[in-house]
Homo-oligomer: A and B are copies of this chain.
């Protein structure tokens, strides 16, 4: 009935016998415990290499009460965004760092409310995963307080909406947006509109704040009609841009690249030229931004790096006990292409892969 258990399994005990030492000594070698005589260590290591021994993760987990697994949790609300390349990129970074630090990465996508409940309860029981990386959440989500209450080591991607005693990795959304809009102002644009992300998320709020900061910095009154809330998607950007068109903006700052693409499409459908009639700047610098038509000026954020940093913060937390929470905010960088009208000569930049 046991599948594939033809060869009797290799255990610490067996390796120990082969090397002529005890279980404990092998365990010490495996775990790089210092107090093993070099000669013995070498002999044991040789047996390990020759036999291809790997400790049984379940037994190990049971004995030392940790699973060696990091859980990446992406809540339901963000499922719709899941098809945008942001998440894959983030996951790549997270996965890479997990490998480096010898953790297994498990993925928890919540699909229904029911599932969310059940899975959350399981996750919080401390034995399934050692720690959690949590993608940003909308306001009022009960998950964050639950996590804090449960003592589960957690690092959030993106600052939580309500200030919380929790570690997170963020990007300078406010300043990035500010810089983008300032750039448009410098280019002489007068009526700059913005398509925001959902305003129940910090990302949405922060990028709008940056927009406001830039205008205020130039003593320009904010026209609320030029601010439209959307949902980070292409379709959302399209709708929002249509709506904005009535108010005759001469530039649009979209809080995400997909929305910028949607806006681009809306403008094209409406017969407006970009950047001549209306300039556009996005946010993210996703791969397609460079090859959009026209190539999209956008605020680059180091997505891969964010993932890596999140894992490193978490493993730090796991390996050194619960210490004060930490925060990290990565800088953004304005990538000037053609859609903002600053750079009409340059041709499409091809270095899509040089991004971190």
Binding site for B on A (CB under 8 A): 1-6, 52, 54, 56-59, 61-62, 65, 67, 69, 72, 79-80, 82-85, 87-89, 91-92, 95-96, 99, 104-109, 111, 115, 119, 121-122, 125-128, 150-153, 234-235, 238, 261-262, 265, 268, 286-288, 291, 293, 321-322, 350, 352-353
Work out how many copies of this chain go into the complex.
2
Give bound CA distance, A265 to B265, whole Å. Answer: 14
Q: How far is the CB of A279 from chain B (nearest CB, A)?
A: 19
Give bound CA distance, A95 to B92, whole Å. Answer: 17
Given A89-B83, A127-B57, A234-B291, decide whether A106 and B106 contact each other with a Cβ distance below 8 A: yes
Given A121-B54, A234-B287, decide whether A109 and B92 contact each other with a Cβ distance below 8 A: yes
Q: How far is the CB of A99 from chain B (nearest CB, A)?
A: 5
Which 9 A/B pairs are nearest by Cβ-Cβ distance?
A4-B151, A58-B61, A83-B85, A58-B62, A95-B109, A106-B106, A82-B88, A54-B125, A105-B107
Q: Which of B62, B89, B153 contacts A59 (CB 8 A)?
A: B62
Residues of B within 8 A of A99 (CB): 109, 111, 115, 119
Indicate if the CB atoms of A84 and B82 lie closer than 8 Å.
no
Q: Which of B52, B88, B151, B235 contacts A3 (CB 8 A)?
A: B151
Nearest to A258 among chain B residues (CB) is: B288
Residues of B within 8 A of A128 (CB): 57, 104
Indicate if the CB atoms of B79 and A92 lie closer than 8 Å.
yes
Give bound CA distance, A261 to B127, whole Å. Answer: 46
Indicate if the CB atoms of B54 and A62 lie closer than 8 Å.
no
Nearest to A97 among chain B residues (CB) is: B111
Give bound CA distance, A291 to B241, whole Å. Answer: 14
Give bound CA distance, A52 to B123, whole Å. Answer: 12
Indicate if the CB atoms of B109 and A1 lie closer than 8 Å.
no
Nearest to A91 among chain B residues (CB) is: B107
Residues of B within 8 A of A92 (CB): 79, 82, 109, 111
Residues of B within 8 A of A150 (CB): 4
Give bound CA distance, A294 to B232, whole Å. Answer: 22
Given A57-B128, A92-B79, A125-B54, decide whether A238 and B291 contact each other with a Cβ distance below 8 A: yes
Residues of B within 8 A of A4 (CB): 126, 150-152, 322
In the complex, which of the residues A62, A150, A152 has the most CB atoms of chain B within 10 Å of its own CB atom? A62
Give bound CA distance, A175 to B352, whole Å. Answer: 33
Residues of B within 8 A of A350 (CB): 235
Given A88-B88, A99-B115, A125-B54, decide whether A265 and B293 contact each other with a Cβ distance below 8 A: yes
